[in-house]
Amino acid sequence: MSENANKKKRGHAIALFSGGLDSALAILLMLKQDIEVTALTFMTHFGCDLGDRSSCGTDPYPASEKFGFNVKLMHLGQKFVDIVESPKFGRGGHMNVCIDCRILMLNEAKACMEMTNADFIITGEVLGQRPFSQQKDKMHLVLRETGLKGKLLRPLSAKLLRATEPELSGMVDREMLESINGRSRKRQMELATEHGLEDYPNPGGGCLLTDEGYSNRLKDLLAHSDRLSFEDLNLLRVGRHFRLDPATKVVVGRNEKENNLLMGYRRDHHCLLEAPDIGSPLTLLIGNTSEGNIEKAAMITARYTSARLEPKVCVVSTRVSDDRVTELTVTPARDEDLKLVAVR
């Protein structure tokens, strides 16, 4: 038992807690057995931001305050970017690296377990729920890679899996655990009602690596960059993206919020484009800011202004490094031409 755990507690578990239904239920099943829980909520540069109404971005604190467990926020930073660039165990349907992600998070949880002298780790994984990462062979692979054999308990599917050390020792009563299998959430919803868990998000979502549009932009970036930067990753989340040449891209804001974000993301090596005095997006030209590319970026900008049906539109280009302004009168880009350079 953890030296730091309340003496009345039977043990101490470290939990992977996304804020979603499954991970919350895994914690509640432990609390019901008088196990102290320290929950780790991980953040990355690929979604799952607190405040997202998704299964991996829900604010974890309301549940922790209501049910009485501790939460620690951890940002995976460059460690996660590294596995996105080069995952050891491949990708799912898009750019998601679910197996490598699970291993990374569990290794962080393992370090926390050892540092706090906790007894074991829990997750909200459900056998058969996800085709890429939550199959029995993949679950065994994760155990081998993390060295957590016997220390990793999956309460929602525990009765379908080999008993872990806390179950064998009697610290956790295996009969009070679940045998959920597959994609149905019927049993989870029953458990939520039983435990008074009322506010939980819909399943899935949150991780941008499972989103087709974002994945395509990320593939394009990886194909044209030696190394991913946080600056590049932030830009992937905003606007319409166009690839003019291997070194140059254009990002066009879709609304006022994105225009404001792009203004914040501008750097000295960028050009900023906008059509004055009409409804216009803000556009960043990134890379080769030659006259030809500035004109192309201006034509793309003009296409998304309120004057897109006019024969000519005035667009102003500002070089961020020295505020040098160039005024161009251009024909708005045609949709058929944009299809050739759009990153979708």
Q: In what order do the strands lie in the sheet with 11-16?
A: 70-75, 35-43, 11-16, 120-122, 152-153
| Percent of the chain whose predicted confidence (pLDDT) is above 70 | 94
In tens, the pLDDT along 175-230 reads 999 999 999 999 999 999 999 998 887 766 568 999 999 999 999 999 999 889 99
- The per-residue pLDDT for range 139-176, each reduced to its tens digit, is 999 999 999 999 999 999 999 999 999 999 999 999 99
Q: Are 124 and 156 in contact (CB under 8 A)?
A: yes
* CATH class of the domain at 11-195: alpha beta
Mean pLDDT computed over every residue of the chain: 92
Stretch 329-339: mean pLDDT: 97
pTM for the full model? 0.89
| pLDDT-derived band at 5, boundaries 50, 70, 90 | very low
How large is the average pLDDT for residues 287-308? 97
Hey, how many other C-beta atoms are within 10 angstroms of the C-beta on 141?
16
Sheet with 270-274: strands ordered across: 240-245, 248-252, 283-286, 270-274, 313-319, 324-330
List the chain domain ranges.
Answer: 11-195, 238-341
